[in-house]
Amino acid sequence: MIELDWKPDKSSPTPLYIQIKKYIKEKIKTGEWTVGMKIPPQRTLAQAWGVNRSTIVAAVEELIADGLLEGKSGSGTKIINNTWSLMNSTPPPDWYSYVQAGSHYPNLPTIQEINQAEFAPNIIRLGTGELSPDLFPREMMKEVFKRLPDRINSLGYEEPKGLLFLREQLKLSGYLKTIGIEAPPSSILIVSGALQALQLISIGLLQRGSTIFLEKPSYLYSLHVFQSAGMRLFGLPIDEDGVQIKTITEQKKRQNAALLYTIPSFHNPTGILMSEERRRELMDVCEQERLPIIEDDVYRELWLDSPPPPPLKAIDKNGLVLYLGSMSKTLSPGLRIGWVVGPNPVIERLADIKMQTDYGSSSLSQWAVAEWLSSGLYHRHLDDVRKALKVRREVMIDSLQRYFSDIATWSVPKGGFYVWLRLSPSLSIRELFEKALEHGILLNPGNVYDQHATQYLRLSYSYASIDDLNRGMVLLSKVIRELTT
């Protein structure tokens, strides 16, 4: 991925487009940007570097004239030459061919654009699934880190399953017990976020060619975790209560399904809360079909009206469910701490693979999370977060009612971060994404979660400031209307 952390010097007598040209040329010359790579869209470069789009156009046109870049309508601008080849010198290795040969699939192009644009200045992030910096518990975090020196004797590697004190706190602090999950520390694996748990499962438990059942749409479609391990995703339809059960029995044998991945609490991207009755029906059919379940429950604690039903793991009597939890959504994604609860042989297997890949999650982060749990500060923090998210949800719903009632439909989520917005007028979701970005609004189009969800947006009320939420929703409404008139 091309980093855009440089900026031209506006106080320099050298014209901005010349500075940009020299910067790009130097990146190509040193081999950091390789032949075959696409450079980011002009609007992205303009926003990241704080210049007019015409300035980018001037720089790119000169680089095209120099034979370094090639621009084609509809496919972007890519590097076709480097200064080594132009000077007839010995060329560096063709790193682009190595990149193309890698076994792990690249991110979807839209996801790559989102990842780059998130850090552009003054961008309003209306799709980001992360707590706002405004909600970071600065004082509580100070208190936690102040206590750690008295607890920590070493910051060496932890045992394969993770810091024992943290695993004990997940059990003893009531975090798991209060939601009905009885799990000894030996059945818990600490991971670097729930995403790492999925990566470990994909390479540690499943055969190539297997099929993964999941809700459609689903967050998992925006990743390539299982596909890169040689597996196929098969989407099951959902309704207001969650995944539709009858399709599991209909498709299980036909699709050679290895397991079911589900987000039952405040689903990503739809925000749906699976009902208690549907959860029991799901467990019954998966037991009958002997179909293991990955329960991704990272949003559970973010209920806004009332606590959700017990997790699937709480009603699992046969070790069918692998339960994923995380601090990324509720406290801080930067801590990179999550956990898997499951049968001992599975936890042992995943722990062994984790030791081979990173030799354990950050010891400091594990100690910090353990302190959050043991001190009781985490539950106080959750109370604050729920109150703040409830206000933010109301701000977004009020904006939707004011500015979108004639152009979209939606349901009010009972928790989590997301509103799954269905646009009524027919328009190009790609064009909307680009036009919104030109206005400083970053969206998450629905088709990254389901290629057929071309009239949907995943809106998030969790990240942008309340002022930006209000301003961004008004702007978004105007952009949609401009595109449909």
**Mean pLDDT of the region 264-285:** 98
Question: How many Å apart are CA 373 and CA 169, to the nearest integer?
Answer: 6
277 and 186: one domain?
Answer: yes
Residue 175 lies in a domain: yes
Question: How many Å apart are CA 434 and CA 443, to the nearest integer?
Answer: 9
Q: What DSSP state is assigned to residue 284?
A: H
Residue 374 tokens read as 């043991």
226 and 363: one domain?
Answer: yes
424 and 411: one domain?
Answer: yes
- Can you spell out the DSSP letters for 363-407? HHHHHHHHHHHHHSHHHHHHHHHHHHHHHHHHHHHHHHHHHTTTT
56 and 194: one domain?
Answer: no
Q: How confident is the model at residue 282 (pLDDT cuts 50, 70, 90)?
A: very high
Question: How many Å apart are CA 21 and CA 62, to the nearest integer?
Answer: 8
Q: How confident is the model at residue 101 (pLDDT cuts 50, 70, 90)?
A: confident
Q: How confident is the model at residue 283 (pLDDT cuts 50, 70, 90)?
A: very high
Q: How confident is the model at residue 1 (pLDDT cuts 50, 70, 90)?
A: low
Residue 118 lies in a domain: no
Residue 197 lies in a domain: yes
Residue 445 lies in a domain: yes
85 and 156: one domain?
Answer: no
Residue 110 lies in a domain: no
Q: What DSSP state is assigned to residue 415?
A: B
314 and 213: one domain?
Answer: yes
Residue 38 has what pLDDT? 86
Query: Does residue 262 contact residue 293 with C-beta atoms inside 8 Å?
Result: yes
pLDDT in tens, 116-169: 889 888 899 999 999 999 999 999 999 999 999 999 988 999 999 999 999 999
Question: How many Å apart are CA 75 and CA 72, to the nearest integer?
Answer: 6
More reliable by pLDDT, 403 or 28: 403
173 and 251: one domain?
Answer: yes
pLDDT in tens, 448-460: 999 999 999 999 9
Query: Does residue 302 contact residue 271 with C-beta atoms inside 8 Å?
Result: no
pLDDT in tens, 325-345: 999 999 999 999 999 999 999
Q: Report the number of distinct structural domains present in the chain.
A: 3
Residue 66 lies in a domain: yes
Question: How many Å apart are CA 344 and CA 109, to the nearest integer?
Answer: 39
Question: How many Å apart are CA 436 and CA 455, to the nearest integer?
Answer: 15
Alpha-carbon torsion (457, 234, 249, 274), positive or negative: negative
Query: Does residue 300 contact residue 313 with C-beta atoms inside 8 Å?
Result: no
459 and 410: one domain?
Answer: yes
Residue 142 tokens read as 């100070």
Residue 71 has what pLDDT? 86
372 and 394: one domain?
Answer: no
Residue 254 lies in a domain: yes
343 and 459: one domain?
Answer: no
Which amino acid, one-letter code, is at 96? Y
- Of 325, 333, 342, 336, give the one whose Cα is nearest residue 361: 336
Please give the residue range of the domain that contains residue 93. 16-102
Question: How many Å apart are CA 245 and CA 436, to the nearest integer?
Answer: 38
Residue 23's CATH number: 1.10.10.10
Q: Which of 379, 403, 436 is at the close of a domain? A: 379
Q: Which of 359, 379, 399 is at the close of a domain? A: 379
- Rounded-to-10 torsion of CA 55, 59, 64, 66: 150
Q: How confident is the model at residue 102 (pLDDT cuts 50, 70, 90)?
A: confident
The residues, ordered by sequence, that sit 6+ positions from 205 with a Cβ below 8 Å of its Cβ are 346, 349, 350
Q: How confident is the model at residue 183 (pLDDT cuts 50, 70, 90)?
A: very high
Residue 11 lies in a domain: no
Residue 83 has what pLDDT? 64
pLDDT in tens, 7-27: 899 888 888 999 999 999 888
Residue 294's CATH number: 3.40.640.10
Residue 174 has what pLDDT? 66
Query: Does residue 243 contact residue 235 with C-beta atoms inside 8 Å?
Result: no
Residue 205 has what pLDDT? 94
373 and 417: one domain?
Answer: no
- Can you spell out the DSSP letters for 311-380? PGGGG-SSS-EEEEEESTTTT-GGG--EEEE--HHHHHHHHHHHHHHTSSS-HHHHHHHHHHHHHSHHHH
Residue 88 has what pLDDT? 52
The residues, ordered by sequence, that sit 6+ positions from 282 with a Cβ below 8 Å of its Cβ are 242, 243, 245, 248, 262, 274, 293, 312
Q: How confident is the model at residue 173 (pLDDT cuts 50, 70, 90)?
A: low
Q: Which of 379, 395, 420 is at the close of a domain? A: 379
Question: How many Å apart are CA 204 and CA 190, to the nearest integer?
Answer: 16
Place of tokens 């039952």: 264
211 and 303: one domain?
Answer: yes
Q: Counting Cβ atoms within 10 Å, is residue 40 exposed (0-12), middle (13-18) or buried (19+)?
A: buried
Residue 418's CATH number: 3.90.1150.10
Find the angle CA(103)-CA(109)-CA(113) to the nearest 5 degrees: 125
